[in-house]
Amino acid sequence: MGKIERQAGFDVAAARQRCLRYRRRILDISQRVTALHVAPAFSCLEMVDVVYHGLLRRDPGRGNSGFRDSFVMSKGHGCLSQYVILEELGVLLSGDLAAYCTPAGRLGAHPDYGTPGIEASTGSLGHGMGICTGMAYAERIQSRDTVIYTVLSDGEMQEGSTWESMMMAANLGLGNLVAILDLNDFQGLGRTSVTHPHFYPIVDKARAFGWETEEVNGHDAAAVYGAVTNRGGKQPFFLVGRTVKGRGVSYMEHVPIWHYRSPSKDEYQKALAELKEVAS
């Protein structure tokens, strides 16, 4: 087994710069093809960045992306955030992103198992939590010190399968499972807090299901990193990250159409002009 490099602290200033780069890169990709799901990638970007740059422990000898720990993007439609990070890490090639969603490429709008850096096929909601529960349990009974991380969407919390898995993960006492919820309050038909008010509060429900929980601002990288690294670790950990869908581009924020749409040329220029580091 290779040497495991533990991340020492977390440089928030560097994270802000990275996320600005990632947002620009995602917008670039959106101009070449009908890039679906820009706004869902923007809402979870800081949290995915913390996972890759702060939480996952490196182990060059292991895994298909050089990490000892694992990450599964349960909200598969947010995978642009993952792709741009994997590109920067050299796990994906820039040619891969250039050929996104084209016949010449291997990346689609949802992650596929077998693609470098992708540990499970997602895109159909409600699958990540079950797979991660199995992964975390398998790691434990094989006595391996590995943490499984996943990012879920709030709409995905309406899937019964997610709750089946949450019950099971807590019953198995999977302290090596960390689920991060991208609570952007939007789904296909509008604001979840309006259409399904009794869906909230989520954090209480997760706690009632036997998980250790915390709630933070999901764009505040330091808060996300701090909450996860300070967890007790006896039970699975559920972090609710309050986020803004489309964060970083004013006309995308809280506007449902950007779940699917790509910006026009003018909209793209406007977005680039106003993008700046997201502080929290």
Partner 1 sequence: MRNTFANTFFEAGQQDERLCVVVADISPAGAMDKFRQTWPARFINTGVAEQVMIGLCAGLALRGLRPFAYTIATFTLFRPFEFVRVDLCYQNLPVTIVGIGGGVTYSTLGGTHHAQEDVAVASAIPNMSVIAPCDPAETRLATQWCVKQERGPVYLRLAKAGEPDLTASAADGFMFGKLRYLKRGEDVCILGYGPILKVGAELAAKFEARGESASLVSVHTVKPLDREGIETALRRHKRVIVIEEMAPSGGLGSRVKEIAWDLDARCRVDCFSLQDAFLHNYGSHGDLLAAHGLDATTLAGKLGLA
Interacting residue ranges for partner 1, rule: CB under 8 A: 113, 119-121, 124, 126-127, 129-139, 141-142, 160-161, 164-165, 167-168, 172
Q: Compare residues 28 and 164 and give the one whose CB is closer to partner 1.
A: 164
Cβ nearer to partner 1, comparing 21 with 234:
234
Instruction: Count Cβ atoms below 10 Å from residue 279 Cβ, excluding itself.
Output: 9
Shortest reach from residue 166's CB to partner 1, in Å: 9
Closer to partner 1 by CB, 36 or 72: give it: 72
Quote the least distance from Cβ 143 to partner 1, whole Å: 10
Q: Tokens 């540990």 map to which residue?
A: 119
State how far the Cα of 92 lies from the Cα of 85, in Å rounded to an integer: 9
Nearer to partner 1, 61 or 190 (CB): 61
Nearest distance from C-beta of residue 120 to partner 1, angstroms: 7
Nearest distance, CB of residue 86 and partner 1, angstroms: 18
Find the distance separating the first CA and the last CA of the chain, reported in whole Å.
38
Rounded Cα distance, 156 and 149, in Å: 16
Distances (CA, A) of 119 to 76, 132, 202: 12, 10, 27
Least CB distance to partner 1 at residue 272 (A): 36
| Strand bridging mode 237-242 / 70-73 | unpaired
What 3-state DSSP class applies to 241? strand
CB of 208 to partner 1, least distance (A): 17
Residue with tokens 């995308």: 252
Name the residue nearer to partner 1 (CB basis): 128 or 218.
128
Decide whether 116 or 256 has the Cβ nearer to partner 1. Answer: 116
Q: Concatenate the DSSP letters of all residues of 252-276 into one string.
A: TTT-GGGGTPPP-HHHHHHHHHH--
CB contact set of 79 (below 8 Å; sequence gap of 6+): 37, 41, 73, 109, 110, 111, 122
C-beta closer to partner 1: residue 54 or 66: 66
- Angle between helix axes 38-50 and 221-229 (nearest 10 degrees) is 50
What is the tally of helices (H) and strands (E) in the chain?
A: 10, 7
- The least distance separating partner 1 from the CB of residue 98, rounded to whole angstroms, comes to 26
